[in-house]
Amino acid sequence: MRHTIVVMCVSCLAAGTLWAASQSQDVLVYVGTYTGKGSEGVYVYRLDSSTGALTYVSKTTGLENPSFLAIDPKGRCVYAVREFGGSADRKGGAVVALSRNRTTGELTVLNEQASGGQGPCYVTVDREGRFLLVANYGSGHVAVLPIADDGRLEPAGSVVRHEGSSVNPARQKGPHAHSIVLDAANRYALAADLGIDKIMVYRLDSEHGKLLPNDPPFVRCEPGSGPRHIAFHPSGKYAYVIEELSSTVEVFAYNADSGTLKPLQRVSTLPEGFTGASTCADIHVHPSGRFLYGSNRGHNSIVSYAIDDATGGLRLIGREPTQGKTPRNFAIDPSGTFLLAANQDSDAVVSFRIDQDTGALTPTGQVCRVSMPVCLKMLTVSGDR
């Protein structure tokens, strides 16, 4: 079986930075998966910058459920959470460090460390490549693991457990940290907690690798909304939160000096009158800063919005079917030309072309068959070899 998948790494750009699309970029895509049905681990693909097709490069096997991925800023290593099964002796989770071959893009396991909680679901690397931050959904912990000079992970030096609950008895009996991201200045870490309907804000002590509560320590989301993932605008002035349980996107003004968030707007990701079951998953801002995209699982679509440059507000563009089931994750290539949707429950990554004027999505006809794709991260490797 020929595999084709995508993983993308699009970082927030500082205000005033120019965005330039390159049609000739050499882009590798790293794909995290669930291994229970047929996947063997983490896959590597090469993106065709003309067609959006994915070509299989290699795979790293022997890793159970290497679902969510992160790439360090220098492109030396890829990090993956490992969501263990439910056996009595494996209640926690782990993060594995994988060294990247700069010639082939292939990955080799370096080491593994405990994730500081149960059910790790999200990892990110700070902008200096010194620390890895992980969110543990199952237990509501967030943690910081130092990164050694060779890319290996050291034991967690800072572990914080969120406290509380919210109004949904099935999903919000306790904290469920679902993501943690850093702002452009590498100063503040924002953690979306689905279980307590809060965005927790921490100051990153970059000398000691500690998470310290900000003042104020959080901003509340609507009860029952279930905040999941966060995306910063390239200007650094706005943060966008996709809310899983209510299928909404909330817009916040972000103060980079104080690490504070101010609610500005809240919009539905679903069409008016939709009555089926659906939950949101992933969110990304286009590299140009002009468009925002979010994924609907159940409605099985990518919703797109135009971003008002002056206010950060959103205007609906449309909703494009993902041509599959359960778009758990998606990614926009570094040039901003293609969006790739990972349809977890139909075992496929589907490629869409982005209209650079309108932000609208058009299927390219390129479909990559991969078992249970969970996360896509991309890395530009032009000049790497």
Q: Is the pLDDT of residue 16 over 80?
A: no
> Tens of pLDDT along 349-375?
999 999 999 999 999 999 999 999 999
Distance CA 347, CA 365 (A): 16
Nearest of 373, 376, 334, 369 to residue 354 by alpha carbon: 334
Q: Is the pLDDT of residue 7 over 60?
A: no
Q: Is the pLDDT of residue 86 over 50?
A: no
> Of residues 16 and 25, which shows the higher confidence score?
25
Distance CA 378, CA 331 (A): 8
Alpha-carbon distances, residue 306 vs 147, 261, 303 (angstroms):
38, 21, 11
One-letter amino acid of 383 = G
Mean pLDDT of 197-215: 97
| Number of domain units in the chain | 1
From the number of C-beta atoms within 10 Å of its C-beta (0-12, 13-18, 19+), residue 155 rates as exposed
Q: Is the residue at 112 inside a domain?
A: yes
What average pLDDT is seen over the chain?
92
Given a contact cutoff of 8 angstroms between Cβ atoms, the answer to whether 281 and 328 are in contact is yes
Nearest of 120, 243, 75, 255 to residue 183 by alpha carbon: 255
Q: Is the pLDDT of residue 11 over 50?
A: no
Ordered DSSP codes for 272-313? TT--S--EEEEEEE-TTSSEEEEEEETTTEEEEEEEPTTT--
Given a contact cutoff of 8 angstroms between Cβ atoms, the answer to whether 376 and 349 are in contact is yes
Q: Is the residue at 46 inside a domain?
A: yes
Which helix H or strand E contains 193, and what residues bound it?
A: strand 188-193
> Taking the C-alpha atoms of 381, 124, 199 and 296 in order, what is their torsion angle to the nearest 10 degrees?
60
Tokens of 117: 């909680």
Q: Is the pLDDT of residue 5 over 80?
A: no
Please provide residue 300's backbone torsions phi and psi, each rounded to the nearest 5 degrees: 55, 60
Per-residue model confidence (pLDDT) at position 382: 67
Q: Is the residue at 289 inside a domain?
A: yes
- Domain residues for 257? 27-380
Q: Is the residue at 3 inside a domain?
A: no
Q: Is the residue at 1 inside a domain?
A: no
What CATH number should be reported for the domain holding residue 110? 2.130.10.10
φ/ψ region of 291 (left if φ > 0, alpha if ψ in -120 to 50, else beta) reads beta
Distance CA 7, CA 328 (A): 13
Q: Is the residue at 18 inside a domain?
A: no
Cα 120 to its chain centre, rounded Å, is 13
Confidence of residue 23 (pLDDT cuts 50, 70, 90): very low
Q: Is the residue at 146 inside a domain?
A: yes
DSSP state of 18: P
Q: Is the residue at 9 inside a domain?
A: no
**By three-state DSSP, how is residue 356 classified?**
coil
Q: Is the pLDDT of residue 307 over 80?
A: yes
Per-residue model confidence (pLDDT) at position 74: 93
